[in-house]
Amino acid sequence: MINEVLEENQDRMIKSEKAFEKELSKVRTGRASQTMLDGVRVDYYGTQTPLPQMATVSIPESRMITVKPWDVSVINEVERAILKANLGLTPSNDGKIVRISIPPLTEERRKEIAKSAGKICEEYKVAIRNIRRDSNEIIKDLQKEGDISEDESFKAQKLIQETTDQHIKKLDEIFAKKEKEILEV
């Protein structure tokens, strides 16, 4: 019974960690990244379609993204969708390929982005602490019902706290790496 709670706790924390990594991958660093356009939706014959599902996105240079739609007839829609996404990017197209030049970030903008990434990190730390709280409540309920002893309860809560500390440390490491990448000129 305790093992099930501990496994569930671990699984939920790992999912939060992965979600944090995915969220941070969308944060702009001044370098071109394929994930920058993941949130762009293109009006494709009346349907809002994610850009990566209708075009090849590639990075020919560190500050350049190219988007080659599989259906060239929607190239203007692709360009319009990138502009509407408010990413601070200006696309240009030659009829076959949309090219997006990534402007270098100012020092002030880098600091704003790093601060924003820090807030995201804090939100995920809170999520992990909430998972810990939920798991501890389940353990305490099991103890109240007499399914586990007080010693087992304390051991389980200690393991939950250790797992929480590991995952929060991992979030801090991921954030530190991303912050370094953001602030790097």
Domain limits, the chain: 2-26+106-183, 34-101
Q: Which two tokens stand for residue 58?
A: 């590639």
Answer yes or no: same fold for 2-26+106-183 and 34-101: no
CATH number of 34-101: 3.30.1360.40
User: 2-26+106-183 sits in which CATH class?
Assistant: mainly alpha
Contact 4, 157 (CB under 8 A): no
pTM of the model: 0.71
pLDDT per position in the chain (185 positions), as tens?
889 999 999 999 999 999 999 888 877 777 777 778 888 898 888 889 898 888 999 999 888 899 999 988 888 888 888 888 877 788 888 888 999 988 887 888 888 889 989 999 999 999 999 999 999 999 999 999 999 999 999 999 999 999 999 999 999 999 999 999 888 86
